[in-house]
Amino acid sequence: MDHSVIYSTIYTSAIDGMQKEFDVPRTVVLLGLTTNLFGIALGSVILSSLSEIYGRRPLYLISVLLFGVLILPVALATNVEAILISRFLGGFFGGSVISSSPGSVTDITDDRYRALAISCWSLGAMNGPVLGGMIGGFVYQYLGWRWINWLVLICSGFNFLLILLVKETYTPSLLRKRTKRMQEQTGDQRWWCQFDHKEAVTGFQVIKTNLARPLHMIVFEPIVFWNLYLGVVYAVLFLCFVAYPIVFQELRGWEPGLAGLSYCGIGTGTAIAVASEPLIRRIVAMHSLDPRTGCPAPEAAVLAVGIGSVLIPLGELWFAWTAQPSMVHWIYPILAGIPFGLGNSLVFIYATNYIAGSYTQYAASALAGNSIVRFGLAGLLPLAGSKMYSTLGAKWAGTTLALIEVMLIPIPFVFYKYGDKIRMRSHMIPKTFEGPR
């Protein structure tokens, strides 16, 4: 389970406690969610890019260790400023795991089973926010808001021990180390690999190039122009962690722990998405073959994204029109989370698979660029969430969000039909494309 993702949303469960202790407006405390997501966005660019220079494992070890250290100032904070700053820095180092993990999955997975592997990984990435909301409610209710940080710190320490057992997976890093070992064993400096950096290029230039690549890909790579769509979808998902406490605690009067269980619908939808992978893989296998590889084209995965794009607004509308407690049983808004969670998971899993399968060697940079947009928007939208729901009400606030998502439905279907032509306009994919391993 991704501790950094849990950390981002478990925070919302204890907003009331921090608001009372520090005597500040709710919006100020909610900035802790925003700063954390902004930190994740920035960390995704820098740390995932550095992983393409030094390898995945060193960055995982350093970032997870520092992430755990930066939880301490939040748990011991005496003012809200310390919380905001520490959560930003913690998010920065937590971004390494979030953005680079799909790249690690791609490193060790056969093309045919990449979607299944990413689906299994996404159980943590997608259910992490859900579990954060579920667990955080009970922890805050019985132990207080500081204990939500101690709990994440314990999870972080356990994850650090697991990462110590993980080997390097990034092919260029492995080949460079093998080349160096052969040079030392034979004394022959002519041993080389295609990923060796030329002597004329300084280390600073290499780092600068790798850090700039995700930003370059956001602007100039046509395949990732749908980052805006994924960003809106992800932002609405995070807005739920502001909306659900409003609906179930304020409108329905539930205790924080019980209100946290309302996320079960979203978690169930995520589990269904993962369980349906074998069926979706069969559908993908029926897609026309890419003549360069003899395998289904990457666009085959986008069909699942299109299905998810329809389910998301359906679940959002369902939730919006059953949120009010008058004459509506509590089970209905919870059940609305199933199509919502299923749609979000399909979009996340297969959009990630599409990007990773297209960029292979530079998958981490492509996904880091995607993370900038996703977490940037996810950090901004929840700030307006409380005001939006208090002004419009749960029904019309949710309806507004659903209508925005309805307008974005054509985007994945355009990529499904014309994605091959769009990919051919890329200057990076032909250089990094790999066939089945």
Q: Per the structure, how many domains does the chain have? A: 1
What is the predicted pLDDT for the residue at 75?
93
Mean pLDDT for each 10-residue chunk of the chain (437 residues)? Answer: 75 88 88 89 77 81 92 93 93 81 76 71 72 84 91 90 85 80 80 61 59 78 76 84 84 86 89 85 75 71 90 94 84 94 89 76 73 82 78 88 91 85 71 39
Q: Are 172 and 52 in contact (CB under 8 A)?
A: yes
Domain-embedded: residue 171: yes
Query: 283 burial class (0-12, 13-18, 19+ CB within 10 angstroms)?
Result: middle
Task: Output the domain CATH number for residue 392.
Answer: 1.20.1250.20
- Report which residue type is found at 17: G
Range of 333's domain?
3-191+205-432
pLDDT at residue number 284: 76
Domain contains 290 = yes
Residue 198 lies in a domain: no
What are the CA-CA distances from residue 182 to residues 55, 94, 188, 189, 394 (Å)?
A: 19, 35, 8, 9, 64
Q: How many helices (H) and strands (E) does the chain have?
A: 20, 0
CA angle 51, 102, 216 (to 5 degrees): 60
Amino acid identity, position 59: L
What does the block give as tokens for 272?
């269904």
Whether residue 199 is contained in a domain is answered as no
Query: 144 lies in a domain?
Result: yes
Q: Is 185 exposed, middle or buried (0-12, 13-18, 19+ CB in 10 A)?
A: exposed
Over the range 13-26, which residues count as b (16 or more CB within 10 Å of their CB) and which as e?
bbbbbbbebeeeee
Q: Following CA atoms 380, 386, 389, 392 in sequence, which dihedral angle do they give, to the nearest 10 degrees?
A: -80
- Look at residue 40 and tell me if it is in a domain: yes
Element (H or E) spanning 408, and its range? none
The pLDDT, as a whole number, for residue 316 is 93
Written as one letter, the residue type at 423 is R
> How confident is the model at residue 327, as a pLDDT?
75
Q: Which uninterrupted H or E stretch holds 434?
A: none
CB atoms within 10 A of CB 184: 11
Kindly state whether residue 200 falls inside one of the protein's structural domains: no
Q: Is residue 429 within 8 Å of 312, Cβ to Cβ?
A: no
Answer whether residue 437 is part of any domain.
no
Yes or no: say if 428 and 362 are a contact pair by the CB < 8 Å rule.
Answer: yes
- In this structure, what token pair is assigned to residue 262? 């309302």
Spatial distance between the Cα atoms of 314 and 52, rounded to a whole number of angstroms: 39
pLDDT at 364: 66
Distance of CA 146 to the CA centre of its chain: 25
